[in-house]
Amino acid sequence: MFKIKKTMERIPGGMMLIPLFLGAIVHTFAPGSGKYFGSFTNGLMTGTVPILAVWFFCMGAAINIKATGTVLRKSGTLVLTKIAVAWVVATIATMFLPAGGVQTGFFAGLSVLALIAAMDMTNGGLYASIMQQYGSKEEAGAFVLMSLESGPLVTMLILGTTGLAAFEPHTFVGAVLPFLVGFVLGNLDHDFREFFGKATHTMIPFFGFALGNSIDLKVITKTGMLGIVLGIAVIVITGIPLILADKFIGGGNGTAGLAASSTAGAAVANPMIIANMKPEFMQAAQSATALVAACVIVTSVLVPILTAYYSNYMKKRRPSANAAAEAAAINA
């Protein structure tokens, strides 16, 4: 019996990234396959938007509004900090990067769209698994609000507020409506939450494969080293503010902040979704997708390692901090 699923799960983000790269291989070497086979096969290969729409609906249905105050405080702090950092980066990047992205040199393919998509969403599943090992149950549960980052809404808001794009109000509503409908149904009826919530993981390989069928692997080879550098930059640029926010606002020791400094697998879809809404981003979307995919891999590998080291360091500091406090109390 083959253990294909378990093998895929050993790779960070494997359930999405492996189908994505399979789709990219098909698109690179047989780009007309979807049209050739037509019917359901074509829908499976080119249906990124409808597949994601169902996924967003199920994601909304899986969220329980009855979260504890600690969970809401922690998750709210991390989510808002991550979004704020992405907004600041986008604002600064608009001063230096062309609208269609850099076209030549080492930074070829880098665009504001790529930076926002790489930084504005946390890998909630990765965060939860890390914090179950290195944090409290409440900290692990903080991924509940991270689901609100899923989808293009936050990316659209950042693009709109930085003046890079103008979206009509109904476009914002259309981007978030499936999520909201699912959220309402899941909280009105627990059975709905259980029923639709199971599909959130099931849908991941399908939108990964469909998304891959929009990527040319030649673009990925051109952005390979830049993708690694960008992945490290995501951890540094978002990680430091997240650690500070977790310490001074979230009431933690910074471990949760570092654990939240990853790039979400779902973020890979955002550049193409935005490009479908605003064709002026199409030129940058392919390279942005490749760069974000690289960031998912890099951050999925490095964030757990860095968090483990940081957590152990903080645990070693705690006894000495307690001893210092006791000594100060005795001297007083």
pLDDT of residue 188: 93
pLDDT of residue 286: 84
DSSP 279: G
Long-range contacts of 270-273 (CB under 8 A, 24+ apart): 270/117, 270/121, 270/151, 270/152, 270/155, 271/113, 271/114, 271/117, 272/48, 272/211, 272/214, 273/48, 273/49, 273/52, 273/151, 273/152
Cα dihedral across residues 227, 265, 177, 54: positive or negative: positive
pLDDT of residue 233: 96
* CA distance to 157, 163, 200, 272, 329, per residue, from 170 (Å): 13, 18, 26, 19, 61
pLDDT of residue 245: 95
How many helices and strands, by DSSP H and E, does the chain display? 19, 0
Q: Residue for token digits 């790489």?
A: 118
Q: Look up residue 131 and give its two tokens.
A: 């914090």
pLDDT of residue 137: 63
pLDDT of residue 325: 46
DSSP 31: T
pLDDT of residue 126: 74
The pLDDT tens digits of the residues spanning 131-186 come to: 877 877 667 666 666 766 666 778 888 888 877 777 677 776 776 788 789 889 99
Residue partners of 282: CB distance under 8 A and separation at least 6: 275
Taking 50 as the pLDDT cut, the residues of the chain under it are 323, 325-327, 329
Domains and CATH numbers, the chain: 13-311 (1.20.1530)
pTM to 2 decimals?
A: 0.72
